[in-house]
Structure 1
Amino acid sequence: MSELVFEQPLNEKVRNYLRLEHLAEQLDTHLQQDHQQRCFSPLLSLCELSERCDFRSELLQDINKLLMHLKTPAVQASLCQHQWQFFQEQLTLARELLQHPERPGVQLKRNRFLATIRQKLTMAGTCCNFDLPQLQYWLAQPWDERQQQYQQWVSHFHCLLHPISLLLQFTRMSSEYRQAVAHAGFYHDNSPNNLSLVRVKMDASAGCYPTISGHRNRFAIHFVQFDQQKHSQQTVQFLLATCS
């Protein structure tokens, strides 16, 4: 069986970034293949999140911090020239795009077709042609035309999703996996530094999964037997990465 990676954010900011990254992955999946009306779920979720929270100011702060961090000798020594140049160029470009005065996705809010879909899909079982004839019409269009239009809708959020991808990529690179053992299905640890993300990698054949909790510089991991849905009493070996 394959290896599984479980991630737990230790602050609200990284929690939001991971949720947006997850939506971005779903958007990309729907762009590659025709999944009919399922493509609207991540798009409309992204619209709702961007309306509820303006992530730009926090993203700009994080981008500026990372750009300053890239100038430190320790970071320059840890990255190859190609990696350093990649983050420097991409983050600088992302900062420029984020300074646009209009909030990402605001134009989609004025799209009458998407507004109708959004209103109806919040109700259970409303994908019938008599509920949403405009959706049935749209789905009947050639896939390449729908794909192009979907790509255009998604592009409104590129200025938001791309820097989040860069920040999370750098966060994950900040720590390498190390061997760890959970005795009687439990593991806990502390760190002298503030942590933002805990990552657990394990083989799916172990028959259990981790539930991770924590805040800042401490965390705990309980392993749960999937079949019985209760805490495991077994010794579990896994790989652990703690990212600042």
Structure 2
Amino acid sequence: MITYEYPLNERIRTLLRLEDLFERTQHFMRSDGAHEHHVALVSLFEILEVASRADLKVDLVQELERQRQTLMTFRNNPDISEEALSGALYEIEQASAALLAMAGKIGQYLRENEWLMSIKSRAAIPGGLCEFDLPSYHYWRHRDASARQADLAGWLNPMLPIRDGLTIVLRLLRASGRPDRQIAGNGAFQMMMGGKSAQMLRLRVEQNEPFTPEISANKYALNIRFIAPGGHARPRVADADVAFELTFCNL
């Protein structure tokens, strides 16, 4: 199955983008190659841009506290594992404490590094990081892999409380809904929302289905079209019924 996620507000959209960027950065950091470390550094700059929302840290702390209060109501419930509940509460409390310990604007220490900001500004130009543009960056890319990895970790680690906080929030969000089997007749599906509240939609489609969902949604209706991917001049809607799972996620 392939899972497609569609955020229904800007806050969840930001968290999903950051989740993807943190995963990409850490994936390429683990490699030894200079090209992979270049991708990791550019991805780190993208994290800096996306996380620059002034209220991101406050949003995460408030959401974690709300989830902590919700979980506290399950204390002494015989149907709930006390060990699992204590573990979840500890994880939330640790993530909140780490977020609150972050001083100043997210990533400000990166913005104060003139060398990194010179790389960031040149990276926005196609081919702008050739060796003749920034010889010092060319030198850095020829350092030992372990030295580059140590530098990347030093630049990334102060922002990891953001990653840890959003990981908990998105995990709880994904677990909040129950999937329903649906059919898109001739590749099209529509549902009236009828007051249904959701922060994110999750669609699961069989991997052998040669179609991808095109989703539009508002508070009144949800519309999904399954499109044949590829280099077609015009999008081609599926000419057959497509079975899929639909989950409304809401914290």
TM-score, normalised with respect to structure 1: 0.90
Question: Which structure 1 residue ranges, 5 or more long, are not aligned?
Answer: none
One-letter amino acid matched to 1:237: A
- 2:223 match: 220
Larger displacement relative to structure 2 (26-35 or 210-219)? 210-219
- C-alpha contact (below 8 Å) 1:194/1:217 kept by paired residues: no
Q: Structure 2: where are the runs of 5+ without partners?
A: none
Question: What per-residue deviation string (whole Å, max 9, x for no partner) do you get for residues 172-229 of structure 1?
Answer: 1112333221112122333654101111111232111001121357422111112442
For the pair 1:242 / 2:248, whether they are aligned, the reply is yes
Give the 5 Å matches for 1:1-244: 3-34=1-32, 35-73=36-74, 80-100=81-101, 101-189=103-191, 190=193, 192-216=195-219, 218-227=221-230, 228=232, 229-244=235-250
The total of aligned residue pairs comes to: 241
2-structure distance, mates of 1:219, 1:196: 13
Return the alpha-carbon distance in structure 2 between the equivalents of residues 130 and 158 of structure 1: 33
SS of 1:204's partner is coil
Change (3 A) 1:231 1:77: farther
Q: Give, in whole Å, the separation in 2 of the partners of 1:73 and 1:25.
A: 32
Q: In 2 relative to 1, CA 161–218 (structure 1 residues): closer, same or farther, beyond 3 Å?
A: farther
Residue identity opposite 1:234 in structure 2: A
- Structure 1 residue 104: deviation in Å? 2.4
Per-residue deviation at 1:115? 0.9
- Name the SS of the counterpart of 1:103 in structure 2: coil
After TM superposition, give the deviation of residue 78 of structure 1 in Å: 7.5
Cα deviation, residue 160, structure 1: 1.0
CA distance in 2 between partners of 1:11 and 1:174 (Å): 16
Offset of residue 36 of structure 1: 3.4
Amino acid at match of 1:241: T
Identity across aligned pairs (percent)? 22
Q: Could you report, residue by residue, the CA deviation over 1:3-44 in whole angstroms, capped at 9, with x for unpaired residues? A: 311100111111111111111111111122131311122100
One-letter amino acid matched to 1:123: I
Shift of 1:53: 3.6
Query: Counterparts of 2:53 and 2:64 in 1: how far apart (Å)?
Result: 21
Residue 233 (structure 1) shift:
3.0
Deviation of residue 92 (structure 1)?
A: 0.8
Aligned Cα root-mean-square deviation (Å)? 2.1
Q: Look up the SS of the partner of 1:90 in the other structure.
A: helix
Equivalent residue of 2:18, what SS?
Answer: helix
One-letter amino acid matched to 1:14? I
Tell me, what secondary structure is at the counterpart of 1:179? strand
Deviates further, 112-121 or 184-193: 184-193
- Conserved in 1, the CA contact under 8 Å of 2:22 and 2:163? yes
- After the TM superposition, list the runs of 4 or more consecutive aligned residues in structure 1 that deviate by more than 6 angstroms: none
- Letter of the aligned partner of 1:16 in structure 2? T
Shift in alpha-carbon separation, 1:219–1:77, aligned structure 2, 3 A: farther
